[in-house]
Amino acid sequence: MAKLNIVKEGDPVLRGKCRPVLEITPRIITLLDDMIETLHDANGAGLAAPQVGVRRRIALVEVEDGQLYELINPEIIDRKGNQQEIEGCLSLPGKWGVTDRPMEVTVRATNRHGEEYTVTGTGLAARAFCHEIDHLDGILYTDHAIEMLDPEDLEIE
């Protein structure tokens, strides 16, 4: 495994629409493994392939230690409720904003073994699923933040 560089705001790869994964090859497995190492090293809640310079529909979400979701060709199939919470992004270090997201989402995706599955997340997990899937369509949380926050006013660890 290898730690990858996280692309920062301004890089055009973050604004492109990602291509679907048509076949799970050894290169896709290596990308997943490298993304996991990169996510853990950055201490993030999620990471999408374009954030490491790859325009493929692949994302990771891990909001609880040991509960990692590998999302290949993910699609949100159900949304419920509403939450307005603070979000940040590994590709936009030092920026924070309040977004309006569903309280609960159900996602359909494929895992590294080619098996389709669904997962439902609430609260932080729902935000993370939405945030990472947005990346696959070239959307950043700042595009629909209802308020950007001054980092000096925050007490974020």
Residues taking part in catalysis: 132
Beta sheet of 145-149, edge-to-edge order: 83-87, 96-101, 145-149
> Closest Cα partner for 109 from 101, 100, 120?
120
Q: What φ, ψ does residue 34 adopt, rounded to 5°? A: -65, -35
> Contact 133/74 with Cβ under 8 angstroms?
yes
Q: Phi/psi class of residue 45: alpha, beta or left (left: φ > 0; alpha: ψ in -120 to 50)?
A: alpha
